[in-house]
Amino acid sequence: MKLSLVIPCYNEEGNVEKFFSEVNRVFNSKVSDYEFVFINDGSKDKTYQKLKQLYNNHHNESNIQVLTFSRNFGKEAAMYAGLSKAEGDLVCIIDADLQQRPEVVLEMLDVLNSDEELDCVAAYQQSRKESKTLSAFKSAFYKLINKISDVDFVNGASDFRLMKRVMVDAILQMSEFHRFSKGLFSYVGFNTKYIPYEVAQRESGESKWSFSKLFKYALEGIFAFSTAPLKLATFIGIFSSVCSILYLIVVVIQKLAFGIDVPGYATIVVLLLLIGGLLLFCLGIIGEYLSKMYVQVKNRPVYILKEHLKKDNQG
């Protein structure tokens, strides 16, 4: 069975060669038929040159494909492109920075081969090598999204996973523009086994994930896999209506029974601001969904290929 490695690369000039040689060293005599599908996701450093060199030097003895995007489209788009060009019966998504060791891929292969029923083996980080705040934030995100979405999200599971062809084809059928792989993997179903793995140190360069990027990504996940925020508007509306009716009754009784004129200026200003704020908040939520629909309806491609290097398919 042929194994395809899908490797998204964005500014990974210091890693791609090392990645290539490490995989060859680890796979040597253990995996016989495998291909590399590198996706150069609009890198601004020398990743393209390094990949081209790798291709030119090795494409006769190794199976290498190099996809180059016309600009940076993001890891989600890179994975989608890689999955659609991968030719293996098994496909593994793996980072270029060697944080996800090729040894773990062998482990995944063993697990997958040991049980015919399995369609996918995914790795999850047992212990996170990151700050407590970030860890807490991520756990809170998983709790929230699992509550408000029908799809199961596993805390710590990354995109690092080995899949059978049936599952890859199912994922490719979902050609949506706003991709959130963690959700797509669960959405398509199939028997998945999670195995723990240790994240290694990054070989070279730095992570592209900042806190604000992660936050945006988390929101993306919520908007892509749940419509619960839309219902929030309904609940806020019902709640504030009930409150205002109760308050109205109180005011009428005060006036009629006790003759108290309720001094209202401050209350009115505060309430106006509160209701205005809530209305805008709910409009904003609707806007989020609407903007995503707007982009989706335009039906633009998820990525644009500038070059596809592959044996018998130059250019």
Interaction site with ligand UDP (CB under 6 A): 8-10, 12, 41, 72, 74-75, 78, 95-97, 99, 207-209
Q: Helix or strand or coil: residue 185?
A: helix
Q: Shortest gap between Cβ of 201 and Mg ion (angstroms)? A: 10
Binding residue count for Mg ion, defined by CB under 5 A: 3
Residue 50 contact partner, candidates Mg ion, ligand UDP, none, CB within 5 to 8 A by sort of partner = none
Q: Are the C-beta atoms of residues 78 and 41 closer than 8 Å to each other?
A: yes
Contacted by 8, from ligand UDP, Mg ion, none: CB < 5 to 8 Å by type: ligand UDP
- Min dist. Cβ of residue 267 to ligand UDP (A): 49
Least distance in Å: CB of 302 to ligand UDP? Answer: 13
Least distance from Mg ion to the Cβ atom of residue 36, Å:
18
Q: Residue 12 binds what, of ligand UDP, Mg ion, none (CB under 5 to 8 Å, by partner type)?
A: ligand UDP
DSSP symbol at 212: H
Q: Is 41 in the site for Mg ion (CB under 5 A)?
A: no
Q: Which does 78 bind (CB under 5 to 8 A by kind): ligand UDP, Mg ion, none?
A: ligand UDP
Helix ranges restricted to H, 59-206: 75-85, 102-114, 132-148, 165-173, 181-187
Backbone angles phi, psi at 201, to 5 degrees: -70, 150
Beta bridge partners of 122: 161, 194
Query: With respect to Mg ion, which residue has the nearer C-beta, 63 or 99?
Result: 99
Provide the sign of the torsion angle of the four alpha carbons 259, 263, 264, 267, taken in this order: negative
Q: What letter represents residue 87's amino acid? A: E
Q: Which residues contact 244 (CB under 8 A, 6 or more apart)?
A: none
Q: Which stretch binds Mg ion (CB under 5 A): 57-65, 94-102, 111-119, 244-252?
A: 94-102
Give the nearest distance from C-beta 72 to ligand UDP in angstroms. 5
CA separation for the pair 102, 106 (Å, rounded): 7
Residues 119 and 243: their CA atoms lie apart, in Å, by 52
Binding Mg ion by CB under 5 A: which of 99, 149, 186, 226? 99
Please, which residue, 103 or 288, has the CB nearer to Mg ion?
103
Residue nearer to Mg ion on the CB measure, 33 or 45: 45
What are residue 6's DSSP bridge partners?
37, 93
Nearest to 158 by CA among 123, 207, 209, 131: 123
Q: 53-92 mask for Mg ion (x: CB under 5 A)? A: ----------------------------------------
Closest distance of CB 27 from ligand UDP, Å: 19
What sign does the CA torsion over 229, 234, 238, 241 have? positive
Closest CA to 111 of 189, 166, 200, 192: 192
Instruction: Answer with the entry of Mg ion, ligand UDP, none that 159 interacts with (C-beta below 5 to 8 A by kind).
Output: none
Which CB atom, from 158 or from 192, has the smaller least distance to Mg ion? 158
Q: Which does 119 bind (CB under 5 to 8 A by kind): ligand UDP, Mg ion, none?
A: none
Which CB atom, from 4 or from 99, has the smaller least distance to Mg ion?
Answer: 99
Token representation of residue 171: 């994922």
Query: Residue 209 binds what, of Mg ion, ligand UDP, none (CB under 5 to 8 Å, by partner type)?
Result: ligand UDP
Q: Please report, for residues 43, 72, 96, the alpha-carbon distance to residue 206 in angstroms, rounded to integers and kept in the order given.
A: 13, 17, 12
Distances (CA, A) of 265 to 253, 270, 272: 19, 9, 11
Nearest distance, CB of residue 169 and ligand UDP, angstroms: 22
* Residues at the site binding Mg ion, with contacts judged by CB under 5 A: 95, 97, 99
